[in-house]
DNA sequence: CCAAAAGTGTTGTTTTTACACCCATGA
DNA sequence: TCATGGGTGTAAAAACAACACTTTTGG
């Protein structure tokens, strides 16, 4: 029995890390915040570790505050990635060396990590991207034309996107991705982008209005080409009430 | 830098455990598989640990195979529980002592655990419940009249149920909870139970048929009171195809 | 033969879809 | 002034909700 315990003491320990897929919305496009790894031509998701007295959520919030300057960012767990071989071991060894991580430290990094995936939704305009100690740059990328990604981060990103799609009707994505004031066409474009399909303008408006989650602002977006669209903001109470059941009807 | 690493080496290690909320369907009721803890009047979710070369999923499947005899059970991650104080520390200490766990071992158990929650859907009739080393019994309980639960297991269970509800239209719950052959009223009752509301018989049938996920069997359930209902089984291909988009329309 | 559950269609209502014209603005 | 995107309503089609009678079976 004691034997079991001793084994267990070692056997069940793992390094816990977290990786965040940070979504932002800018120029009518969905953006992701990525780090360019030092000395390597690959990108990485912002990530971090969990300290003794933190929950995962607290650790993720802390990490993202370091990376974006945003306090108390919106985030959700979506999946744990626990494959002991999270990527090709040779690739990984080479990558770590290229990053300028010495053999000793590399050995540490080569241990088993279990990583908890979060997706995060932020107001693009509030983010001030800052690289971490392993990276040269931290900046926004388009989903389509991002570059090669380290480890299994590409897989994590895809999974996050799928989770986001699935939870579209249960999470306040508009509220978190858009600035406080926004136009209906902007909101529509956001939904179209996440869903990957076009929606009818009038039907979209009717439906959104029917939820009663928008507050109309008697104000128009100025300085923009063409007819000035009205501005709206979310009625957070109503939004959250509607999300509890899920926005009914789907898209 | 090396200092950081050394700290890190300790700081980021945690014990990984997993807890499974096992749902079964019997006598038109949703059941959960629970363990009665030795010497204590509390119930616990089946759980286990992750070994070095396993993924979490493999560990969960192994655990449930030990607890139910079922190989390759259906399961899904739904949440990580990482609160360092997963329940009242005094309660926990007392509980561990009562379980007959010596002080040394208790200290081990009192370390920080991060637990990954899975929900699992099994064919009740295929399960042969077996207690683990910490428990007197392993058996099925009704959702409503289960007893007090250990640690934060009650919270985990509630969260699992919420996740199950949310994913109702994206997971093959019927396929996994019902035996291979089943009747429409049984399927309906299953949906009614998970959703917590009554559905109209004729509308339910029309809708399920419209998905094209059922294979009609030209066979009736015999030996049952009243008019014999027809038997059906799932057309797994069609079911999975339909689930990809989510069963449209909701309930 | 009776009580209880299962099978089966129709109708009114609501929701969804498809579609076109005028307006305001910056270039 | 023109090209472009934004605002707005209606009608046909589809989906949904509500509803009752007959059949079968075991007790």
Where is the domain boundary, B166, B196, B227?
B166
A162 with A187, same domain: the answer is no
B141 with B225, same domain: the answer is no
Write the residue in B82, B246, B249 that is nearest to A56 by C-beta: B82
Scanning every strand, the nucleotide with its C1' closest to A229's CA turns out to be: D6
CA distance B245 to B126: 30
Please report the pLDDT score of residue B4 as a whole number. Answer: 42
In a domain, B176, yes or no: no
Partners of B166 on chain A (C-beta within 8 Å) are 170, 246
B22 with B94, same domain: the answer is yes
Write the residue in B11, B57, B80 that is nearest to A49 by C-beta: B11
Give the confidence band of B2 by pLDDT, cuts at 50, 70, 90.
very low
DSSP A110-129: TS-EEEEEEEEE--GGG---
Interchain contact B85–A (C-beta under 8 A):
no
Q: Reply yes or no on whether the pLDDT at B84 is more than 80.
A: no
Q: Reply yes or no on whether the pLDDT at B130 is more than 70.
A: yes
Please report the pLDDT score of residue B236 as a whole number. Answer: 97
B11 with B108, same domain: the answer is yes
Interchain contact A57–B (C-beta under 8 A):
yes
Where is the domain boundary, A134, A166, A198?
A166
Where is the domain boundary, A166, A189, A216?
A166
Please report the pLDDT score of residue B249 as a whole number. Answer: 81
Give the confidence band of B89 by pLDDT, cuts at 50, 70, 90.
confident
In a domain, A175, yes or no: no
Residue B59: closest C-alpha in chain A = A82
Three-state secondary-structure class, residue A55: coil
Instruction: Decide if B8 and A108 are in contact by the 8 Å CB cutoff.
Output: yes
B93-113 pLDDT tens trace: 777 777 777 777 777 666 778
Q: Are B142 and B206 in contact (CB under 8 A)?
A: no
In a domain, B59, yes or no: yes
In a domain, B122, yes or no: yes
In a domain, A123, yes or no: yes
B49-83 pLDDT tens trace: 988 888 999 999 999 999 999 999 999 999 999 98
Scanning every strand, the nucleotide with its C1' closest to A226's CA turns out to be: C25
Instruction: Decide if A56 and B114 are in contact by the 8 Å CB cutoff.
Output: yes
B60 with B110, same domain: the answer is yes
A65 with A91, same domain: the answer is yes
- CB of A197 lies under 7 Å from some atom of strand C: no
A155 with A235, same domain: the answer is no
Q: What rounded mean pLDDT belongs to chain B?
A: 90
Please report the pLDDT score of residue A96 as a whole number. Answer: 75
For residue B215, count other CB atoms closer than 10 A to its CB: 13
In a domain, A40, yes or no: yes
Please report the pLDDT score of residue B3 as a whole number. Answer: 38
Segments of chain B assigned E as strands: 13-26, 29-37, 43-44, 47-49, 74-81, 113-121, 135-142, 214-220, 230-234
- Residues B133-137 have a mean pLDDT of 95
B37-51 pLDDT tens trace: 999 999 999 999 988
A100 with A197, same domain: the answer is no
A187 with A139, same domain: the answer is no
CATH of the domain at A235: 1.10.10.10
Domain region containing A235: 181-245
Write the residue in B17, B108, B112 that is nearest to A9 by C-beta: B108
Instruction: Give the CA B11 to C1' D2 distance in Å.
Output: 66
Instruction: Decide if A13 and B13 are in contact by the 8 Å CB cutoff.
Output: yes
- CB of B225 lies under 7 Å from some atom of strand C: yes
In a domain, B98, yes or no: yes
B105 with B61, same domain: the answer is yes
CATH of the domain at A57: 3.90.79.10
A162 with A190, same domain: the answer is no
* Structural domains in chain A (count): 2
pLDDT < 70 regions, chain A: 1-12, 108-111
In a domain, B141, yes or no: yes
0.85 surpassed by pTM: yes
- CB of B197 lies under 7 Å from some atom of strand D: no
Please report the pLDDT score of residue B185 as a whole number. Answer: 97
A110 with A145, same domain: the answer is yes
Please report the pLDDT score of residue A4 as a whole number. Answer: 41
Instruction: Decide if A16 and B11 are in contact by the 8 Å CB cutoff.
Output: no
């Amino acid at each position: 029995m004691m034997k079991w315990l001793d084994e267990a003491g070692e056997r069940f320990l793992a390094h816990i890390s977290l990786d965040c897929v940070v979504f932002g919305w800018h120029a009518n496009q969905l953006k992701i915040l990525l780090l360019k790894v030092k000395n390597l031509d690959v990108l990485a998701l912002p990530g971090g570790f969990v300290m003794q007295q933190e929950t995962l959520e607290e650790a993720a919030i802390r990490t993202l505050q370091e990376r974006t300057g945003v306090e108390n960012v919106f985030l959700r767990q979506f999946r744990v990635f626990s494959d002991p071989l999270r990527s090709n071991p040779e690739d990984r060894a080479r990558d770590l060396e290229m990053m300028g991580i010495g053999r000793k430290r590399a050995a540490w990094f080569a241990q088993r990590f279990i990583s908890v995936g979060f997706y995060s939704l932020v107001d693009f305009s509030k983010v001030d991207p800052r690289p971490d100690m392993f990276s040269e740059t931290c900046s926004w990328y388009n989903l389509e034309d991002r570059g090669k990604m380290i480890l299994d981060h590409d897989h994590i990103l895809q999974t996050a996107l799928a989770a986001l799609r699935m939870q579209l009707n249960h999470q306040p994505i508009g509220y978190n991705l858009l600035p406080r004031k926004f136009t209906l066409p902007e909101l529509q474009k956001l939904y179209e982008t996440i869903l990957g399909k076009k929606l009818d303008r009038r039907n979209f408006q009717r439906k959104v209005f029917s939820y009663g989650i928008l507050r109309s602002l008697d104000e128009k977006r100025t300085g923009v080409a063409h007819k000035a669209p009205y501005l709206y903001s979310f009625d957070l109470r109503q939004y959250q009430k509607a999300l509890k059941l899920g926005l009914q009807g789907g898209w």
